[in-house]
Amino acid sequence: MTVNEKIFDSHVHVYPDAIADRARVALGKFYNFDVPGKGTYQGYLEECRENKTTGFLLFSVATTAHQVGSINDYIASRVMAAREEGFEAVGFAAMHQEYDDVEKELDRAISLGLCGIKIHPDIQRFDLLDPRMFRICEAAEGRLIINFHMGDDREEYRYSEPKKLAALLRRFPKLKVIASHLGGYKAWDEAAAYLYGNPMVWYDNSSALWAMTPETARKITLACGTDRVMFGTDFPVMKIGQYLELFNREGFGESEREAILYGNAKRLFQL
- For residue 197, which phi and psi values (nearest 5 degrees)? 100, -10
Query: Does residue 199 surpass a pLDDT of 90?
Result: yes
Strands (E), 92-211: 93-94, 116-119, 145-148, 177-179, 201-204
Burial state string for 222-231 with b = 16 or more CB within 10 A and e = fewer than 16: ebbbbebbbb
Give the confidence band of 2 by pLDDT, cuts at 50, 70, 90. Answer: low
Residue-range domain boundaries for the chain: 8-269
Query: Does residue 37 surpass a pLDDT of 80?
Result: no
Q: How many CB atoms lie within 10 A of CB 82?
A: 22
CA distances, 46 to each of 41, 94, 135, 240 (Å): 9, 24, 38, 10
Burial of 68 (0-12, 13-18, 19+ CB in 10 A): buried
For residues 171-191, average pLDDT = 97
pLDDT the model gives residue 139: 97
Let me know if domain 8-269 sits in CATH 3.20.20.140. yes
Residue type, 128: L
Nearest to 86 by CA among 55, 43, 52, 126: 55
Query: For residue 147, what are the β-bridge partners?
Result: 118, 178
Q: Are 231 and 204 in contact (CB under 8 A)?
A: yes
pLDDT digit string (tens) for 89-125? 999 999 999 999 999 999 999 999 999 999 999 999 9
Q: How many CB atoms lie within 10 A of CB 3?
A: 5
The helix (run of H) or strand (run of E) holding residue 59 is strand 55-59
Q: Are 53 and 9 in contact (CB under 8 A)?
A: yes
Query: Does residue 77 surpass a pLDDT of 60?
Result: yes
